[in-house]
Amino acid sequence: AQTVTQSQPEMSVQEAETVTLSCTYDTSESDYYLFWYKQPPSRQMILVIRQEAYKQQNATENRFSVNFQKAAKSFSLKISDSQLGDAAMYFCAYRHSGAGSYQLTFGKGTKLSVIP
Amino acid sequence: NAGVTQTPKFQVLKTGQSMTLQCAQDMNHEYMSWYRQDPGMGLRLIHYSVGAGITDQGEVPNGYNVSRSTTEDFPLRLLSAAPSQTSVYFCASSYSDLGYEQYFGPGTRLTVT
């Protein structure tokens, strides 16, 4: 079974600075998807960024980027120019590719605080 | 589009009571699922459906029942509520199973006393 580990239960960053959230995963599959979801206090789950395992290029979405190291099974999220609105729980998630592979496996989350 | 909607937002039950959490989506998504989120945990899959009339169990299915009679609706039934089912429940839907984004509802906070 796949597992997703987020080793940092809490992190903080100064406004306008850069922070990196860590995620490692365990799988025997070669083709899969990785996601970062943001959950603000409103509780809504919001997709931040997605990475296909077959793509070597790291995904980027505005201030959010990932460092995907397939051999090391590592998938970290970098937030640049941190803003107060970035304060939230962040969840890393894994999903095997292929028909019928539907389940998202989540890590336990990292609570990010942004200091003004 | 309203996206994924869930009702109610909050619910308190007594042990042994039954209830149904409602979930609906208006995006014509084939795939729908239910997750629960407990403190210090990520989301865990309860049940999922790959289309009307087709459902299957996820990681933590015990004590829950689902059915999918239409593409739009995917209700979750608690048959006999237990304190261990106190949690936040999320419904999600997606276009397909090929890595497409899952769209989540706003969640239902359930407390069982």
Say what the pLDDT of residue A24 is: 98
- CA-atom Rg of chain A in angstroms: 14
Mean pLDDT confidence for B74-90: 97
Say what the pLDDT of residue A83 is: 97
| Pairwise CB contact (< 8 Å): A43 & B107 | yes
CA B40 – CA A111 distance, rounded (Å) = 10
Q: How many CB atoms lie within 10 A of CB A57?
A: 8
Mean pLDDT confidence for B99-104: 81
pLDDT score of B1 more than 90: no
CA B71 – CA B93 distance, rounded (Å) = 10
Say what the pLDDT of residue A100 is: 65
Say what the pLDDT of residue B48 is: 93
Kindly tell me the number of DSSP H helices and DSSP E strands found in chain A.
0, 12
CA-based nearest residue to A16, from A92, A115, A102, A98: A115
Say what the pLDDT of residue B102 is: 87
pLDDT tens-digit profile, chain A (116 residues): 689 999 999 999 999 999 999 999 999 888 899 999 999 999 999 999 999 999 889 999 999 999 999 999 999 999 999 999 999 999 999 998 876 667 889 999 999 999 99
Query: Considering Cα of B101, then B105, then B106, then B107, what sign does the dihedral take?
Result: negative
Token pair recorded at residue B19: 């209830």
- Percentage, residues of chain B above pLDDT 70: 97
Out of B42, B59, B99, the one facing A97 most closely (by C-beta) is: B99
pLDDT score of B4 more than 90: yes
Say what the pLDDT of residue A30 is: 87
CA B105 – CA B92 distance, rounded (Å) = 6
Say what the pLDDT of residue A2 is: 80
Those residues of chain B whose CB sits closer than 8 Å to some CB in chain A are 31, 33, 35, 40-45, 48, 50, 58-59, 88, 90, 92, 97-99, 101-102, 104, 106-107
Say what the pLDDT of residue A101 is: 66
Kindly tell me the number of DSSP H helices and DSSP E strands found in chain B.
0, 11
SS3 B83: helix
Say what the pLDDT of residue B100 is: 73
CA B68 – CA A46 distance, rounded (Å) = 25
Q: Chain B interface, mutation test: which of A45, A48, A96, most B Cβ atoms within 10 Å? A: A45
Say what the pLDDT of residue B40 is: 82
